[in-house]
Amino acid sequence: MSDRPSILVVDDESAILVSLGILFKNEGFEVATAQGGKAGLAALEQRPPDVLLTDIRMPGISGMDLLAAARQQAPEMPVILMTAQAELRTAIDAVNQGAFQYVQKPFETTALVALCRRAYEHRRLKVENKSLRQEIRRRDRSQSVRPIGRSRPFLEVMKLAETVAPTESTVLIQGESGTGKEVIARYVHEMSPRADGPFFSINCGALPESLLESELFGHVKGSFTGAVRDREGLFAAAKGGTFFLDEIGETTPATQVKLLRVLQEREVIPVGGTEAVPVDVRLIAATNRDLEEEIRGGRFRTDLFYRLNVIAIHLPPLSSRRDDIPLLAEAFLKRMAADRKEEPKNISSEVLDAILAYEWPGNVRELENALERASTLTKGAEIPASALPVRVTERRAEPLVAERTHPNPTLDMVERAYITWVLQAEAGNKSRAAEVLGIDPSTLYRKLGRYEDGA
């Protein structure tokens, strides 16, 4: 809202319009006038003012009609009605229907200006309170869907996501299956100005081409067998919100052409239709494929890739963010317990060691599934290692005979050597060493304890 309040004055008498126009202009208002209800309605639709001041009795469209239109178009807009003594009952009814106030003709100009200023301040406070409530709701929602983690790679992803969220830029999220691409997409949505709008998602690889296009763009009646009526597509239904296209690398060249149109023209043409339908949606796409390799293979369009790849977020695999594993495990167990209406189960030190040592090729999704299995099989308060899938707990046996005279060191060997080197460089200061390593001191102490036990 501007610091200079705007007011629309509507009356069927030109003399009143001229005098009130001069009055409010001299008082610092931005003034628009309309002679008669029809002109007032057109002015109201063209540019809604901060305050509407209108006569009640006018031929054709009355002040009551304008009140109803204002309530529908901008519910926070205060409406003040000018009335004669004979119309007093109607004015009182109008206040009961949502008008801010009424004034009787002839009115005292100083009091009228003060009333209009009060109406403007009332509107300004309502708008600010509404904006504050929306911000609080958006913050609460964003905290509830905030991805979990504290590792350096994770924090870099979060920093980029929070930077791009307030913009309208298209985002391409790349990462292995199970890394949480949709979780990041939802977080970007909840941190964006579109948070109050819908969030739609669809897996492009889960549907055949014909059905996918119908879902995305809609279809017209008779466009194919079973199309018994017109149907709005998800792009149109997501108006004012965010559309997440998962596994976009699975789309066919024909679908890619239509997606390019959405990004370039902000419109879609329903299947079987000829007229374009405008769309108001932010697009976030995700893939576990190397799209540049797909381009070289002729399976993905270069122009669509550059339209999608405005902001690229690369999600690291879980094996690259091991410091997040304990946090994720705790969060998963708490959520599972809440769903079952029971106390969260604890994990034993053996389980913690096992999940930290495992490579997690299925990433966060595999970790969640493994813990759900373990939680379900555990009757007591603490999950034992035996409840985990065998693949998580078993360690590969070292071959008795190596073909190489000098075998490559294992990852554990490299890690142990590096931690020892950092500790020596920091004169045995474990807190400082943990900071240099980018891990929590508790993680460092646990690793050192494992080394001392000979693991």
Angle at CA of residue 180, ends 179 and 183, nearest 5°: 170
For the chain, how big is the Rg over CA atoms in Å?
Answer: 32
Strands of 241-393, DSSP E: 241-246, 267-268, 277-278, 281-287, 311-314, 346-347, 382-383
Q: 411-452, which class in CATH?
A: mainly alpha
Q: Is the pTM value of this prediction over 0.75?
A: no
The domains spanning 6-128 and 146-316 adopt the same CATH topology: yes
Q: How far apart are CA 232 and CA 418, in angstroms?
A: 58
DSSP character string of 136-156: HHHHHHHHHTPPP--SHHHHH
Tokens of 133: 């409530």
* SS3 category, 199: strand
Q: How far apart are CA 285 and CA 290, in angstroms?
A: 13
| Domain extents in the chain | 6-128, 146-316, 319-393, 411-452
Q: How many CA atoms lie within 13 A of 425 on its CB side?
A: 12
Identify whether 106 is preceded by a cis peptide bond (ω within 30 of 0): yes
| 6-128: CATH number | 3.40.50.2300
User: Which residues lie below 8 Å from residue 328, measured CB to CB, with a gap of 6+?
Assistant: 148, 149, 364, 367, 368
CA 316, distance to chain mean position in Å, is 21
User: Which residues lie below 8 Å from residue 104, measured CB to CB, with a gap of 6+?
Assistant: 83, 84, 85, 88, 91
Q: How many CA atoms lie within 13 A of 231 on its CB side?
A: 19
- pLDDT tens, N- to C-terminus, the chain (455 residues): 556 899 999 999 999 999 999 999 999 999 999 999 999 999 998 888 999 999 988 999 998 899 889 888 888 899 999 887 657 777 787 787 788 988 888 888 999 999 999 999 988 888 887 777 666 665 655 455 678 999 999 999 999 999 999 999 999 999 999 999 999 999 999 999 998 899 999 999 888 888 888 889 888 887 776 666 778 888 988 999 999 999 999 999 999 999 999 999 999 888 887 788 899 999 999 999 999 999 999 999 999 999 999 999 999 999 999 999 999 999 999 999 999 899 999 998 999 999 999 999 999 999 999 999 999 999 989 999 999 999 998 865 444 444 444 456 777 777 888 888 887 777 777 877 877 787 877 777 777 777 766 55
Q: How far apart are CA 143 and CA 135, in angstroms?
A: 12
Strands of 309-453, DSSP E: 311-314, 346-347, 382-383
Q: 146-316, which class in CATH?
A: alpha beta
| 319-393: CATH number | 1.10.8.60
Q: How far apart are CA 365 and CA 117, in angstroms?
A: 58
Look at residues 235, 238, 200, 201 and name the one whose alpha carbon lies nearest to residue 218. Answer: 235
Q: How far apart are CA 309 and CA 170, in angstroms?
A: 7
